Structure formats: structure tokens, C-alpha cells
Structure 1
């Protein structure tokens, strides 16, 4: 029997590409959103919204960055059993 921790990480390759292009064109302003999408954060759209609307305050930008680099939340535990046992 094997136990596996399941997190909320999601694969969003297309969104990550768009976010990195937007980060490049905004000279790094949207960097927290790009980091969040690259890391597969489930709340990447929320991080993007926080970054877009409050990032200009600098405090909002650092809040979005903190959300982007935070740990993934644990979504559950998956139990694997070997067949025949």
C-alpha cells in the first residue's frame, strides 16, 4: 500500500505562456501572476487580479508575490494498493 499527498497544483501551460508575455510587455509588473501560473497555483486568476488592481501600491504587488510563491494546499490523500494483495 502506498500513500500519496494530492495538492491543488494544476497544469496551465497556455496561461503560463500568456502571463510571461504580459510580464515582459509590462516590464515585470505582472511578475507575481506569471510565477503563480508557472507554479500551477489553483488561485492564479485571483493572484492576477490582485496584482493588476492593487499592484500599483507596491504593497499589493508584494502581497500578490507572496501568494504566488506560497505553498500549494493539500487537497487530499490518495491510497494505492498493489493488485493481488
Structure 2
């Protein structure tokens, strides 16, 4: 029997590409959103909204960055058993 930790990580390849392009076009302003989408964070849209609307305050930008680099939440455990046992 094997246990696997399942997290809330999501595959966001296209959104990450758009986020990085926007980050370069805005000279790094949208960096927290790009980091969140690249890491597959479930709250990437929230990070983007905080970054867009409160990022102009330096505190808002660092808050969005902190949200982007935070740990993934554990969604549950998956139990694997060997066939025939």
C-alpha cells in the first residue's frame, strides 16, 4: 500500500505564458501573478487581482508575492494498493 499527498496544484501553461509576457511588458509589476501561475497555485486569479488593484502600494505588491510563493494546500491523501493483494 502506498500513500500519496494530493495538493491543490493546477496545470496552467497558457495562463503562465500570458502572465510572464505581461510581467515583461510591465517591467516586473505583475511578477507575483506570473509566479503564482507558474507554480500552479489554485488562488492565482486572486493573486493577480490583488497585484493589479493593490500592487501600486508596495505593501500590496509584497502581499501578492507572499501569496504566490506560499505552500500548496493539501487536498487529501490518495491510497494505492498493489493489484492482486
Q: With structure 1 as the length reference, what TM-score do the two structures score?
A: 0.99
Consecutive unaligned residues of structure 1, counting only runs of 5 or more, are none
Matches of 1:75 and 1:44, distance apart in 2: 17
The yes-or-no answer on 1:40 pairing with 2:40 is yes
The yes-or-no answer on 1:6 pairing with 2:6 is yes
| Structure 1 position 71, deviation (Å) | 0.2
Give CA-to-partner distance per residue, 1:11-58, whole Å, 9 cap, x none: 000000000000000000000000000000000000000000000000
1:56-67 matches, cutoff 5 A:
56-67=56-67
Alpha carbon RMSD of aligned pairs, Å? 0.2
| Structure 1 position 80, deviation (Å) | 0.2
2:72 corresponds in structure 1 to 72
2:19 corresponds in structure 1 to 19
Matches of 1:52 and 1:13, distance apart in 2: 20
SS in 1 for 2:55: helix
